[in-house]
Chain A
Amino acid sequence: MTLPFNFRSRRAFLKNAGLGCGSLAMTSLLNDEGILSKAGAAEAPTLSHTRPPHFAPKAKSVIWLFMPGSPSQMDTFDYKPELQKRDGTPLKGADPKTGFFTTSGKLLKSPFNFKQHGQSGAWVSEVFPHTAQHVDDMSFIYSCFSKSNNHTPAMLEMNSGMFLQGRPCMGSWVTYGLGSENRNLPGFVVLHGAMPRGGKPIWSPGFLPKVYQPTSINGVEPIGDLSRRNGMSEPQQRAQLDILKAMNQQHQELRPHELDLAARLESFELAYRMQTAAPEAMDVNQESETIHKAYGVDRAETQLVAKQCITARRLVERGVRFVQLYAGTNGGGGGVADVPWDGHNDIGANHRIAAKSVDQPIGALLADLKSRGMLDETLVVWGGEFGRTSDSQGSLGRDHNPHAFTMWMAGGGIKGGVQYGASDEFGYKAVENRIGVNDLHATILHLLGIDHTKLTYRFNGRDFRLTDVGGKLINEILA
């Protein structure tokens, strides 16, 4: 077999192959089907539809369960007995301007009961009974911090490493680095309910070529332009594409050096096949009733996230590289649709509703991945964009807090039952083994077989990295 890359430069590679998740696949198809050689291309690129990682990966795919609005660490996984005891007393060193509004400076205990679970004895709040069953497969990181106390910049940072617009998000970097395994599906998919705060720029490919932008699906409507217009039958569209193909081939024969033309010719065929492959991948109705019940498709409060989680599993099963799922709904109360976890007024009421919408689906997803033998190769990431304050906003709410929050990861090369790092005794600030977003990114890339210092893209005269000049591997959570 020839080496998958024989381009002189990445730029030439991009220009000639017009690659990307789809196009990488496409170029491979062109080779498979002899189109490039038929077109008489002088230097037919020989590349497979995946790109080699830097070293053997532990995870093939990522499912990132993003909790927009940000769950509170001390009400979910970071149990703080001191906080429970000292409810209503002043928080020493409290900065009322930590969050977006103003906080009281008085400690607010969690309204929830905590219990230890599994062999590892991880503490989990009562709002996550299903998720709690999987703590022995998880590594908890209690010492995360980020840089912004406002949703949109914090989401940008969590996704792209930078709190301003314009940088590529992680899913784009990963598909740029590794390509896609499925010829007929995009490599990077975003599943969301209400459009999260910050909108599409939070999952932008930034300065990377547009081919690395995600296909975003809002949970209700199908992928854009994926179905034939009403009134046109499949044979009618086939006939239309056949004459197009014949014309484009005649045009191509006179221009043997133009690889772009051959690539575009094939892209129509790929698009035609996607019309069947993508709806099939997205069709949760093909799953059994047992699966539907396990995820909670049958109940109103869990339905949206259940369907998203099933879809995520189906996509990963079919070789989609990176699925980011924006989970949680306001469930008719307690939160705002685009930031469902944003418990400013009443953390108890808000988190009960938000957690209910995600807990059963996430528990079922982990169980389902495990029973199918997919968890080993699928990295599941859970978390929001920052944490929440230990002191109260108003009497019952919590404001934003970038100084400490908890994330967990499971599967795909993650050691199970690990509790890493620590926040202070009230969960206000990360104090031990502090983990920034660059460190999370470096670790996730590592699990995918990518050295974060070597995944670069030259833009405006310099090489950019997802981790910029930072990023430290969290070795303690690696299996």
Chain B
Amino acid sequence: MATPSDFGRQGVPPTHPDLLDFLAEKLIRGGWKLKPIHQLIMNSSVYRQSGADNAIAAKTDPDNKLWWRRGAMRLEAEVIRDTLLSVSGSLDKKMFGMGSLDQASPRRSIYLTVKRSNLIPILQLFDAPDSIQSIGHRDVTTVPPQSLAMMNSALARQLAEKFANRVHSAPGKSIEQVVNESYELALSRPPTAREKQQMISFINAQAATYGGDKGVELAVTDYCQMMFCLNEFIFID
């Protein structure tokens, strides 16, 4: 449904009306419970397919309206922030209690207070709605201020430091181990041989430019911050 807030005459008709009816009936018969519906959708072969290319499909359905592949989806603002907290090992999973207006709070983004006159900068940056009017569909934008925040903000750096500390604190740990472990934590997969080699040589070269006792630590932090900036980190497919 391309126009989720407009099912009327001006909206775009759904691509799969029978499927929508089927899901609606399931939802109603299942007592309006959302979790079973989510489970049903997420276990479907359509949902689980890859983003692999297909020349014929790309030609007949370039917009992927019929879901012939899994498109890359940018995480939502709240999830990006939660993922940064989680990967850096600083997420506070405590439930309930007062919210906060501090974007550096370690709690999940759902515990950030929505105050119309004081919106959370990092959420705004990644297209969170301003909560003044309801919306049917969030924009996904890619703008330099997002990149600047990931490159230069105190928040991104502090979380990178925590991430670096998490993967590099044990004495005698090799850079290779740091790379392996950080890939698992940030991307849920081991690095390829090529990636491993590229990352190790980056960390070593960067450490040399810093020099001194802190050189490796700073280089690992730069590396960890760079991991946060990867497309693979915030686009899932």
Instruction: Give the distance in Å from the alpha carbon of A270 to the alpha carbon of B58 in the complex.
Output: 30
| With A199-B117, A210-B124, A210-B141 as contacts: A267 and B5 at CB distance below 8 Å | no
* CB contact list, A309-356 vs B, under 8 A: none
A464 to chain B, nearest CB (A): 11
Q: Name which of A112-120, A253-261, A376-384 contacts chain B.
A: A253-261
What 0/1 readout, one digit per residue, does chain B (99-128) give for beta carbons within 8 Å of chain A? 000000000000000001111010011010
| With A11-B2, A210-B141, A258-B71 as contacts: A460 and B198 at CB distance below 8 Å | no
Instruction: Give the distance in Å from the alpha carbon of A201 to the alpha carbon of B130 in the complex.
Output: 10
A394 to chain B, nearest CB (A): 30
Instruction: Give the distance in Å from the alpha carbon of A243 to the alpha carbon of B209 in the complex.
Output: 15
Asked if A461 and B5 sit within 8 Å, CB to CB, the answer is yes
Q: Give the number of residues in A that approach B within 8 Å (Cβ atoms).
A: 68
Instruction: Give the distance in Å from the alpha carbon of A166 to the alpha carbon of B153 in the complex.
Output: 28
Asked if B230 and A268 sit within 8 Å, CB to CB, the answer is no
Asked if A166 and B235 sit within 8 Å, CB to CB, the answer is no
| With A461-B5, A461-B6 as contacts: A260 and B134 at CB distance below 8 Å | no
Question: CB-nearest residue of chain A relative to B54?
Answer: A257
| With A210-B127, A244-B230, A256-B53 as contacts: A200 and B117 at CB distance below 8 Å | yes
Instruction: Give the distance in Å from the alpha carbon of A272 to the alpha carbon of B3 in the complex.
Output: 36
Asked if A271 and B53 sit within 8 Å, CB to CB, the answer is no
Asked if A271 and B231 sit within 8 Å, CB to CB, the answer is no
B contact residues around A107 at 8 Å (CB):
none
Instruction: Give the distance in Å from the alpha carbon of A258 to the alpha carbon of B58 in the complex.
Output: 12
Asked if A211 and B141 sit within 8 Å, CB to CB, the answer is yes
B233 to chain A, nearest CB (A): 10
Looking at chain A's contact residues, the main secondary structure is: helix
A271: contacting residue among B3, B64, B147, CB under 8 A: B147
B contact residues around A241 at 8 Å (CB):
151
Instruction: Give the distance in Å from the alpha carbon of A18 to the alpha carbon of B126 in the complex.
Output: 12
Instruction: Give the distance in Å from the alpha carbon of A270 to the alpha carbon of B63 in the complex.
Output: 27
Q: Name which of B22-30, B41-49, B78-86, B199-207 contacts chain A.
A: B199-207
Instruction: Give the distance in Å from the alpha carbon of A23 to the alpha carbon of B154 in the complex.
Output: 24
Say whether A141 faces chain B, with CB atoms less than 8 Å apart.
no
Say whether A387 faces chain B, with CB atoms less than 8 Å apart.
no
Say whether A284 faces chain B, with CB atoms less than 8 Å apart.
no
| With A260-B235, A267-B142 as contacts: A243 and B198 at CB distance below 8 Å | yes
A258: contacting residue among B8, B72, B222, CB under 8 A: B72
| With A210-B141, A225-B145, A225-B153 as contacts: A243 and B226 at CB distance below 8 Å | yes
Say whether A236 faces chain B, with CB atoms less than 8 Å apart.
yes
Question: CB-nearest residue of chain B relative to A247?
Answer: B230
Question: CB-nearest residue of chain A relative to B127?
Answer: A210
Say whether B136 faces chain A, with CB atoms less than 8 Å apart.
yes
Asked if A252 and B231 sit within 8 Å, CB to CB, the answer is yes
| With A211-B143, A233-B209 as contacts: A244 and B229 at CB distance below 8 Å | yes
B237 to chain A, nearest CB (A): 7
B contact residues around A33 at 8 Å (CB):
none
| With A246-B198, A257-B58 as contacts: A461 and B147 at CB distance below 8 Å | no
Instruction: Give the distance in Å from the alpha carbon of A207 to the alpha carbon of B130 in the complex.
Output: 8
What 0/1 readout, one digit per residue, does chain A (236-280) give for beta carbons within 8 Å of chain B? 110111011011101110011110110111011011101100000
Asked if A244 and B226 sit within 8 Å, CB to CB, the answer is yes
Question: CB-nearest residue of chain A relative to B77?
Answer: A210
What 0/1 readout, one digit per residue, does chain B (1-36) give for beta carbons within 8 Å of chain A? 011011010110000000000000000000000000
A contact residues around B235 at 8 Å (CB):
258, 260-261, 264
Q: List 15 A-B contacts (CB under 8 A).
A: A18-B142, A22-B143, A42-B58, A165-B132, A209-B127, A215-B145, A240-B222, A243-B202, A244-B230, A251-B231, A261-B72, A268-B147, A271-B145, A461-B5, A462-B10
- Residue numbers of A with Cβ under 8 A of B are 11-12, 14-15, 18-20, 22-23, 26, 42-43, 165-166, 199-201, 204, 206-207, 209-211, 213, 215, 224-229, 231-233, 235-237, 239-241, 243-244, 246-248, 250-252, 255-258, 260-261, 263-265, 267-268, 270-272, 274-275, 459-462
